[in-house]
Amino acid sequence: MPAKKHKKIILISIIVLLTIYAVMTATIPPAKEKERTSLVIKSRTSLLQIAHILKEHGLIRSRPIFMALSLAYGGKLIAGEYELSKDKSMVEIVMMMGRGERKIYALKIVEGYNIYNIAEAMESSKIMNGTDFLNLARNKEFLQKAGIFADSLEGYLMPDTYHYSKEIEVEHFIEKIVQRTKNLFAQEDIVAEMKRFNFDIHKTLTLASMIEKEAKSKYEKPLISAVFHNRLNKGMSLDCDPTVIYGLNRFGSPLSKADLTYYTPYNTYTFAGLPKGPICSPDKNTILAALNPAQVDYLYFVSKNDGTHVFSKDIQEHNGFVSIYQRTKTTKKQ
């Protein structure tokens, strides 16, 4: 056999063997273990670093072959949290990461949620420990970074359902929610309405949060807004029960007469004007209602115990409705 032909056969054999090896390495899982490993690939992690992480965890056999397979997705795999196991082949892993089949967490912030409710939602959705969230929500350095000049995140987290993937830090995720709120207040019509009342974002959110807690129906929001605006204009106390509850940090129990006279920076029975800050997260409709009160002269409202309220222009009329609908409660006085 001529030497040239012999070398050619050897070369072809090597290529075939390497191809078989590469195919087997790419398609045969490293082991039969089905135990899942949760790996978080952070944003801006290079392809080489991803291959190294997977090799370290025994999830792939060859870094070069893994990187070669990734070229099917332009060498760009999607960061995130992946549930992987050793019984998956490299082809399967590359396809998962190329398609971005990562773990996504949903956070639902309901209108009227306060930071304690949001902390519970954070923990139940497995995004963040509830206590850690509350600490972050009051962290001055974080608040300044997020552009919030208040004591906490209260009111600044716009109600909606948000989706989180762990390739980004949870702090950045929260900052994005804050930015969503700030974007709303950057709209020209809202800026103009705030100027009309000499309100800033904080004051608007504070008033809107009170309306959110008092109003059960969209129809009543402008009416309740009008009551608060009218009382502010007259220098009256706002007498909003939810602010008392928030200041006491005692949710779910009825208020006593003593509670109404106990001073906190949130108890609007003990001073005129708005409380220190928001008491919950209001939605967009409530924010708009806070800036567009109904053109009425009402100064009082009382619950009819069916989710709606009856409104009054004077204390005598109001006390009459209180006696009808809230017989067991203390009559409000001017």
Token pair, residue 259, equals: 């509670």
Q: How many structural domains is the chain composed of? A: 3
**The domain boundary residue, chosen from 79, 99, 119:** 99
Is 310 strand, coil or helix? strand
Residue 306, burial from CB neighbour count under 10 angstroms (0-12, 13-18, 19+): exposed
4 within a domain of the structure (yes/no) = no
Range of the domain at 80: 26-99
Residues 155 and 197 in one domain: no
- Taking only Cα atoms into account, the Rg of the chain, rounded to an integer number of angstroms, comes to 30
**The domain boundary residue, chosen from 128, 162, 185:** 185
pTM of the predicted model, to two decimals? 0.86
- pLDDT tens for the 334 residues of the chain, in order: 565 555 555 556 555 544 554 455 555 666 666 788 899 999 999 999 999 999 999 998 889 989 998 999 999 999 999 999 888 888 999 999 999 999 999 999 999 999 999 999 999 999 999 999 999 999 999 999 999 999 999 999 999 999 999 999 999 999 999 999 999 999 999 999 999 999 999 999 999 999 999 998 999 999 999 999 999 999 999 999 999 999 999 998 889 999 999 999 999 999 999 999 999 999 999 999 999 999 999 999 998 888 899 999 999 999 998 888 876 454 443 3
**The domain boundary residue, chosen from 124, 155, 185:** 185
Residues 238 and 278 in one domain: yes
CA-based torsion, 84, 66, 51, 127: positive or negative? negative
- Size of the chain in residues: 334
In DSSP notation, 48-90 reads HHHHHHHHHTTS-S-HHHHHHHGGGGTT-PPPEEEEEETTS-H
Q: Are 87 and 117 in contact (CB under 8 A)?
A: no
Which runs of E-coded beta strand occur in 190-333?
300-303, 309-312
Residues 206 and 218 in one domain: yes
Residues 225 and 312 in one domain: yes
Give the residue from 36, 25, 52, 22 showing the smallest Cα distance to 86. Answer: 36
CA-based torsion, 293, 294, 295, 296: positive or negative? negative
Residues 198 and 268 in one domain: yes
Residues 60 and 162 in one domain: no
2 within a domain of the structure (yes/no) = no
> Which CATH number is 41's domain given?
3.30.1490.480
- CA pair distance 328, 171, nearest whole angstrom: 46
9 within a domain of the structure (yes/no) = no
